[in-house]
Structure 1
Amino acid sequence: MKRRVLCNSLQEPEGPVCLPDGHIYVAEMSSSRHCISRIDPTGQYQRVGDPGWRPNGLAIDGSDSLWVAGGGRERLVRMGLDGALLDIYGGPKSKPFLWPNDLAFAENGLLYMTDSGIDPGEFVQGQAIRADFRNCRYDGRVYEIDPRSGDVLRQLDSGLRFPNGIAIDLQGRLYVGETISGNIYRYDLASLATPKREVFSNVVFGAPEGFVGPDGMVFGSDGRLYCAVFGQGDVTVLDSDGKVVERIPTCGKRPTNIAFCEDSRGGAVVTILDVGCLEWLGLPCAGRQLYRPKI
């Protein structure tokens, strides 16, 4: 497989968003930057804006607004492509967001977000994750959000142990990675009641001692789910039955997220936290077309 590093000057990168013109937006979580940055098709780097402390997952709507999970001191932030702050949402007043992590739009025009369910200031310092992470008290959640108002419409799940990556398949089903267990869960969004949590797969190989598990993920046009596995140093590929069909090594041990390119180069890009880079992988398929509602 062909591969190359597109940019190697990033600091704790996450959440790549690829545009049809070849530009790629990434979040940089480090305390020295905490910014959204843009990488052009030639690999040139530019800081775009500061959404607030430790931005994480990214999504883009059909009105060219970036949605940032974890900006604005653990809030959901809407930002223009020029870096202008447009809206900031903190979640329900009775139960505000704890650690907004990753985002995905669905065909119904709604935004779905994972919340890892723990105060990040108590969980991680820089790249150092607390040693007793398995014994922490998590209240990880999955939200359904109206992007026009920022209101939480439904809390789809709670009590998860560090929910992380999120993706939606062609049938409109929602997939959420739980990092501590290694599980990928599936939810039927068409349910009128709270959707039932269903184990779809597990992406962890063996019994690692460190913080290893699913991070960002996305569907390819081949119907397979491509999941960056943090701490395992690979993109694990799952077929429609949840079977592991391939493990694609990355250039670092801590890949955080993956997005398919939408310009002529094809393939996909992966953000690598420990190396501080954006790596391009020459995957043989395109990405499943993402939903980008007009807001």
Structure 2
Amino acid sequence: MNFELVAEGLGFPEGPVLLSDGSVLVVEIRTGRLTKVMPDGAKQIVAELGGGPNGAAVGPDGAVYVCNNGGLTFFDAAPDLAIPGHAPEDYRCGSIQRVDLQSGEVVTLYDSCDGRPLRGPNDLVFDGQGGFWFSDYGKADDWTADRGWVVYARIDGSLIRRVRGGMLGPNGVGLSPDGKTLYVAETQTGRLWAMDVVEPGVLGPPPLPWAPGRLIATLPGHQMIDSLAVEAGGNVCVAGGPDGGVTVFDPDGSHEHVRLPGEVIVTNICFGGPDMCDAWITASGSGRLYRTRWPRPGLRLAYNG
């Protein structure tokens, strides 16, 4: 598989979203921006979001919705390897933001849930009914770490509720082709979970009371996984895993790894193009965005830019 470098010099890019003009939106966690990357690699700032924008998706109204984790500290382990850390001193809370792509206007849609501040919203996916699932990864310091949550919300501000908790770093979220299964990647354990969607915003009970869902697989060794995208055939492509790249999980638990040469921290993937076999991959640690031809088509999302 050949990987084409599309852009570099990005501030820990995440949340790639393909637009109809062939450009790709990425959030830059380190700089607090939403940035458009043109097909030739040129970059254009769409909005200054502040905090730590961590994931993005187009909603039913054509706006872009952003999971903002509230900010992270970073240190440079090497000239092309940035490492995220804990919350900065000016951290207040996380939020869900709405960005108008025409005007660049940014509105905070939610910054709390059930009377408690959002801690570190990370990734989101829209269902076919116009609501969205998102992960709240939580925050950590040298002494403590939050338990994370899966949350459901509506874009009109009328509903936000925690649906499934007790997770150790819930990160990437995605829906199966039939919309009946929510997949959640758990960073700290290297596990991919499946949760049954009963109706919009409602999950069926897990098979065990101490598990968040059905376990698809746990990667061996000390491996962390990040955000994800689903293929049209049902495989779940999760960024992260061995040595940086994308791990492809079959719902039956088998998996294979696609290595991204020279990269250590690979965080997300999205699909597009006429046949949905074009894949864009964020290598956050080095600040790079790549493009490649994927061997199978990705799943078309409920809404596209």
TM range (shorter): 0.7 to 0.9
2:137 to 107, 116, 125: 116
Amino acid at match of 1:207: G
The verdict on how the C-alpha distance between 1:150 and 1:182 changes in structure 2, with shifts beyond 3 A counting, is farther
Task: State the partner residue of 2:68.
Answer: 70
Task: State the partner residue of 1:156.
Answer: 163
2:260 to 241, 250, 255: 250
Task: State the partner residue of 2:221.
Answer: 207
Amino acid at match of 1:163: P
Mapping for residues 115-194 of structure 1, pairs under 5 Å: 115-119=136-140, 122=141, 136-149=144-157, 151-152=159-160, 154-172=161-179, 173-190=181-198
The verdict on how the C-alpha distance between 1:150 and 1:281 changes in structure 2, with shifts beyond 3 A counting, is farther
| TM-score in terms of structure 1 length | 0.85
- Asked if structure 1 preserves the Cα contact closer than 8 Å seen for 2:109 and 2:157, the reply is no
User: In the alignment, is residue 97 of structure 1 matched against residue 104 of structure 2?
Assistant: no
- Asked if structure 1 preserves the Cα contact closer than 8 Å seen for 2:241 and 2:247, the reply is no
Task: Measure, in 1, the Cα distance between the counterparts of 2:171 and 2:18.
Answer: 20
- Asked if structure 2 preserves the Cα contact closer than 8 Å seen for 1:14 and 1:56, the reply is yes
Amino acid at match of 2:253: G
Q: Cα deviation per residue 1:24-60 (whole Å; 9 max; x = unaligned)?
A: 0001011xx2101001122111111112211101111
Q: How many residues align?
A: 273
Gaps of 5+ in 2: 71-92, 207-211
Task: State the partner residue of 1:59.
Answer: 57
- Asked if structure 1 preserves the Cα contact closer than 8 Å seen for 2:197 and 2:203, the reply is no
Amino acid at match of 1:155: R
Task: Measure, in 1, the Cα distance between the counterparts of 2:241 and 2:33.
Answer: 21
Task: Measure, in 2, the Cα distance between the counterparts of 1:163 and 1:40.
Answer: 31
Task: State the partner residue of 2:244.
Answer: 233
Amino acid at match of 2:60: G
| TM-score in terms of structure 2 length | 0.82
The verdict on how the C-alpha distance between 1:38 and 1:282 changes in structure 2, with shifts beyond 3 A counting, is same
Q: Secondary structure at the match of 1:274?
A: helix
Q: Secondary structure at the match of 2:99?
A: strand
The verdict on how the C-alpha distance between 1:136 and 1:183 changes in structure 2, with shifts beyond 3 A counting, is farther
Q: Cα deviation per residue 1:72-111 (whole Å; 9 max; x = unaligned)?
A: 6511000011421134311225222110000000122211
